[in-house]
Structure 1
Amino acid sequence: MCNLSKKYIYIILLVVTGYLCKTPSSNKLKFVFILMRSVNRAPLNYYENISSNIENWPNGLGELTNEGIINAYRAGKLLRERYRHFLNPSERYSPSEIDVSSSEVDRCYQTAGYLLAGMYPPDEQQVWNPELLWQPVPIKTSLSKDYHMFGDNALYCPKYWIELHEASEDFIKTEKIKNFINYLRNNTFKTLKTINDALAICDVIWTDYMSKNSIPDWALKRFDDIEKFMLHSMLILNSNSDQMKRLFSGDLVGDIINRMEAIINKSLNAKKMYLHVGHDSTIVPFFNTLNVSEIEYPQFGATVLIELYLTPLNKTLIKLLYNKNYEWKESNIKLIELPGCPLPCGLENWRTLTQKFIPQNLNEECKNS
């Protein structure tokens, strides 16, 4: 009798769990957050005997390539297709539907702009020039909670800068990293005193490789190590402590949760979608703040998706997805279980889980007092 009861309880649990985790045909999609790395670009630097021909980058160093422009536009069309039953069915842009923000870097602005051109082609009433089927969609840096610049200047967030300096010193002293940087020194004949010095070399090699340009044999031999070094360089941006996570990425997590709650509470100005275009140094620390393990180095156009659903039982359900590059193949889009909040993960549970990483007053918390 005891075994029979346990069996029935197990079946009931399976039914309830399955009901909460049904596909969007039964669960209603309410909000989508999109965090995207800018698309294909030129290397940030040029080095004789390391870089490919400078003529490969006619738009300039650090700028989007034509391939990147096409991929951003295509991503917009594919996002429109993915969320065609969620967004305005007429494909008409409405300011009440979406917020868009960008890191204050040209390639991020441009990625957002080309993506939105694919996502929101003007309808008949919105066409202002029949020879140019495009309409401007606002991109607002004022909405951005992307603090990648904290790693560039101590003045932005002194408390964070101190911890980053300590974490960087510890990282560069590890035997494995010392050996790797020595390998770069011996093959590039560069001094390479800091992580950023080594990262600049790695960026040139990685970007050339991703653009199918030739790279030196010594770099090809250690390409996996180059990519791992780039990933670990992003991880140390907030891996040293919960305080680093709170200062660097916590504001973004808090903003997403606030937007979700505004939708659920039917707030007047709530938007159903929020898109932010940032960097590899935005995505990796964001995942790290959520304690997502086994993070891959984000390729150009890599995208984090967080979807909020309302179930038929009026329960919230959060899904975290990751698209590893600009191609948007369904096979590349991976469902990631939120650590500490297994499916079905509700919004209230997620807020409780992440509360310690969300700053109440970032400016005050950044002060080194």
Structure 2
Amino acid sequence: MAAPLALLLGISFALAPPLAQARSLRFVTLLYRHGDRSPVRAYPRDPYQESTWPQGFGQLTQIFIRSTDYDRTLMSAEANLAGLYPPQGQQVFNPNVSWQPIPVHTVPDSGERLLKFPLSPCPRYEQLQNETRQSAEYINKTRQNLEFLEMVANQTGIRDVSLESVWNVYDTLFCEQTHKLLLPPWVTPDVMTRLKQLKDFGFEFLFGIHQQMEKARLQGGVLLAQIRKNMTSAANASAPQHLKLLAYSAHDTTLVALQMALNVYNGRQAPYASCHIFELYQDDDSNFSVEMFFHNESGREPFPLTLPGCDQHCPLLDFLRLTDPIIPQDWARECQVASNVQDTELIVALAVCGSILFLLIILLLTVIFRIQSQPPGYRHVSNEGEEQP
């Protein structure tokens, strides 16, 4: 009886409806800022010029795959990959080397159109920035900090220090402070705090304050469009599944542009090695959902991020619908200044009208001149002397 009973139970289990599939992680996208680096540049009166930094300006120090074409982002990508994927089994080519080669893809800086922000050339974006400079918030911020900016200009030797350029000063001083270099006497803790606040305002200026949604379409929305495309492809059952994780090694401005587009930016510069995480899950009902996290503090779990209008556990279709307004349909066309065509047509119309008016004036002057040039007493007498009926 035992064998038939086992067979019967086996058939019963085979015919039973399948158990609900557990929720599973299907695809991950990482966007992170590079690690600790030297300053990008020094200010004219900086006591620490490039010779102070053995590795030169803008390079990584101790290093704690798409990358921009900068040494610091390429090296960060390589370091992260070395930590994530130590060789195992047949991947070990040298027992004394716990590393395996993994390609990092990049494009020349001049052709970067995905990870380096602000994206340019984009005349419409520049027009929006000019409009932002005329906004009450920007004008008031400039007025409130005018004396401070002039002091920074005098102390650093930089001719013009503005809300848009002051981040360079803060960045240099921050790097020097991080590496235990003695800062000049004028750089007090209050000065550093104020510089940091103005630097954060500079990020807001780049991607917000005025017409944030349109700026998003021209900037962070470009990267988000690619991220959405990758997630949609990963959720497509008919598409071949190869990639499980896609990582972008980039900059603080890359993170700010993306987070401003998603409207989840916390108003502060992303620290070194901070990471924005997109996780695509297949839920137990076979539908897909997206969760976002931001890791910006060592020793702590990533902070969950919630797309406005959705839950932190956001259905993929809702995620796509809510982000549709910030995705450019034709970036090159949207970057054009719409008024250019209208202005050209207006100029042509005015030129044509002006030419016609000029010709009419010439004609009128010619008639007047001919009338005035006739001899005195001259009359038109073509009908004189004719008999009347």
Give the TM-score of the pair, scaled to structure 2.
0.71
1:107 equivalent in alignment to 2:75 = no
1:187 equivalent in alignment to 2:155 = yes
Q: Distance in 2 between matches of 1:51 and 1:275?
A: 38
Compared with structure 1, are the counterparts of its residues 125 and 308 closer, same or farther at alpha carbon in structure 2 (3 Å cutoff)? Answer: same
TM-fit CA distance, 1:281: 0.7
Secondary structure of the residue aligned to 1:330 is: coil
Q: Distance in 2 between matches of 1:207 and 1:200?
A: 11
Compared with structure 1, are the counterparts of its residues 295 and 198 closer, same or farther at alpha carbon in structure 2 (3 Å cutoff)? Answer: closer
Q: Distance in 2 between matches of 1:268 and 1:51?
A: 56
Residue aligning to 1:254: 225
Q: Distance in 2 between matches of 1:347 and 1:179?
A: 49
Deviations along 1:271-304, whole A, 9 cap, x unmatched?
2211101111111121111111533211111111
1:198 equivalent in alignment to 2:166 = yes
Is the Cα–Cα contact under 8 Å of residues 200 and 269 in structure 2 kept in the other structure?
A: yes
Residue aligning to 2:82: 117
Deviations along 1:302-343, whole A, 9 cap, x unmatched?
111121222223333322211114x3x225x21122222123
Residue aligning to 2:345: none
**Higher alpha-carbon Rg:** 2
TM-fit CA distance, 1:228: 1.9
Q: Distance in 2 between matches of 1:132 and 1:300?
A: 27
> 2:329 pairs with 356, 360, 367, which one?
360
Residue aligning to 2:122: 157
Is the Cα–Cα contact under 8 Å of residues 274 and 296 in structure 2 kept in the other structure?
A: yes
Q: Distance in 2 between matches of 1:132 and 1:207?
A: 32
Residue aligning to 2:273: 301
Q: Distance in 1 between matches of 2:215 and 2:264?
A: 16
Residue aligning to 2:292: 320
Supply the AA of the counterpart residue of 1:324.
N
TM-fit CA distance, 1:129: 4.2
> 2:202 pairs with 233, 244, 264, which one?
233
Quick check: 296-305 or 115-124, which moved more?
Answer: 115-124
1:45 equivalent in alignment to 2:41 = yes
Is the Cα–Cα contact under 8 Å of residues 27 and 245 in structure 2 kept in the other structure?
A: yes
Pairing of 1:76-115 with structure 2 (within 5 A) = 100-115=65-80
Q: Distance in 1 between matches of 2:84 and 2:280?
A: 20
TM-fit CA distance, 1:117: 1.5
Secondary structure of the residue aligned to 1:236 is: helix
Q: Distance in 2 between matches of 1:109 and 1:168?
A: 35
Structure 2 unmatched runs, 5+: 1-20, 339-389
Secondary structure of the residue aligned to 1:114 is: helix
1:291 equivalent in alignment to 2:260 = no
Q: Distance in 1 between matches of 2:156 and 2:102?
A: 44
- The answer to which structure, 1 or 2, has the higher relative contact order (CA under 8 A, 6+ apart) is 1
Deviations along 1:74-120, whole A, 9 cap, x unmatched?
xxxxxxxxxxxxxxxxxxxxxxxxxx111222211111112111212
Figure out how many residues of one structure are paired with residues of the other and give that number. Answer: 307
Q: Distance in 2 between matches of 1:227 and 1:193?
A: 14
Secondary structure of the residue aligned to 1:261 is: helix
Is the Cα–Cα contact under 8 Å of residues 51 and 208 in structure 1 kept in the other structure?
A: no
> 1:273 pairs with 245, 248, 265, which one?
245
Q: Distance in 2 between matches of 1:124 and 1:270?
A: 21
1:223 equivalent in alignment to 2:192 = yes
Q: Distance in 2 between matches of 1:306 and 1:249?
A: 15
Residue aligning to 2:310: 341
Compared with structure 1, are the counterparts of its residues 287 and 176 closer, same or farther at alpha carbon in structure 2 (3 Å cutoff)? Answer: farther
Q: Distance in 1 between matches of 2:182 and 2:287?
A: 52
Residue aligning to 1:94: none
Supply the AA of the counterpart residue of 1:351.
L
Deviations along 1:21-45, whole A, 9 cap, x unmatched?
xxxx953111211110111000011
Quick check: 263-272 or 31-40, which moved more?
Answer: 263-272
Compared with structure 1, are the counterparts of its residues 315 and 217 closer, same or farther at alpha carbon in structure 2 (3 Å cutoff)? Answer: farther
Q: CA RMSD in A?
A: 2.6
Quick check: 36-45 or 304-313, which moved more?
Answer: 304-313
Is the Cα–Cα contact under 8 Å of residues 164 and 238 in structure 1 kept in the other structure?
A: no
TM-fit CA distance, 1:260: 1.4
Secondary structure of the residue aligned to 2:333 is: helix
1:208 equivalent in alignment to 2:176 = yes
Residue aligning to 1:35: 31
Supply the AA of the counterpart residue of 1:290.
L
Is the Cα–Cα contact under 8 Å of residues 43 and 207 in structure 1 kept in the other structure?
A: yes
